[in-house]
Structure 1
Amino acid sequence: MDFNASLRKAVKTGTVFLGQNKTRECIEEGKAKLVVVAKNSPESVKTLVNETDIPVFVYDGSSVQLGKACGRPYVVSTLAVVEPGESDILNAARV
């Protein structure tokens, strides 16, 4: 599975919320099916996602690289996948 391709497809065809605040909201509301965290995310974010039973994928790259993988020209330290759309990204947590 090519994670970057799956991520980009999920962003285009599914429901994905980018950023710490939106990810936190999705976790608290029980909407997130997968949380992706950049390797260099702040400890506060890592602590938040570790306290949930939602599958977490640690992106092996920086938040700049995660933003580019999402097709965005800005930093993305974390994101929540609510609906994967046509993507197989939910399989990433099982890797």
Structure 2
Amino acid sequence: MDFNASLRKAVKTGTVFLGRNKTRESIEAGKAKLVVVARNSPESVKNLVNEIDIPVYAYEGSSVQLGKACGMPYVVSALAVIEPGESDILSAARV
């Protein structure tokens, strides 16, 4: 599975919230099915995902690379997949 391709498809066809604040809100609301965290995410984000019972994918790249993988021209330190759409991204989850 090509994670970047699956991620981009989820962003295009599903519901994905980008950024640490939206990710936190999605987790707290119980809507997130998968959380993706960039390698260089702030400690506050890493601490947040350590406390949840939701699948987490540790993205090997930086927040700049994660933003590009999402097709966005800005950095993305974390994101929450609410609905995967036509993507198989939920199969990439590592708890």
2:46 maps to what in 1?
46
1:81 maps to what in 2?
81
Structure 1 Cα separation of the partners of residues 61 and 94 of structure 2: 19
Q: Measure how far apart 1:94 and its partner are.
A: 4.5
Structure 2 Cα separation of the partners of residues 8 and 14 of structure 1: 10
4+ runs deviating over 2 angstroms: none
TM-score, length-scaled by structure 2: 0.98
Q: Which runs of 5+ in 2 are unaligned?
A: none
Assess if the C-alpha contact under 8 Å between 2:56 and 2:94 holds in 1. Answer: no
Assess if the C-alpha contact under 8 Å between 2:11 and 2:70 holds in 1. Answer: yes
Assess if the C-alpha contact under 8 Å between 2:40 and 2:62 holds in 1. Answer: yes
Q: Measure how far apart 1:33 and its partner are.
A: 0.1
One-letter identity of the residue aligned with 1:69: A
Q: Which runs of 5+ in 1 are unaligned?
A: none
Q: Please list the CA deviations of residues 13-41 of structure 1 after superposition, one character each: whole Å capped at 9, or x if unmatched.
A: 00000000000000000000000000000
Assess if the C-alpha contact under 8 Å between 2:7 and 2:70 holds in 1. Answer: yes
SS at structure 2 position matched to 1:12 = helix
SS at structure 2 position matched to 1:79 = strand
Q: Give the superposed CA RMSD.
A: 1.0
Structure 1 Cα separation of the partners of residues 94 and 42 of structure 2: 24
Q: Percent identity?
A: 86
Structure 1 Cα separation of the partners of residues 16 and 35 of structure 2: 10
1:15 maps to what in 2?
15
Structure 2 Cα separation of the partners of residues 94 and 20 of structure 1: 19
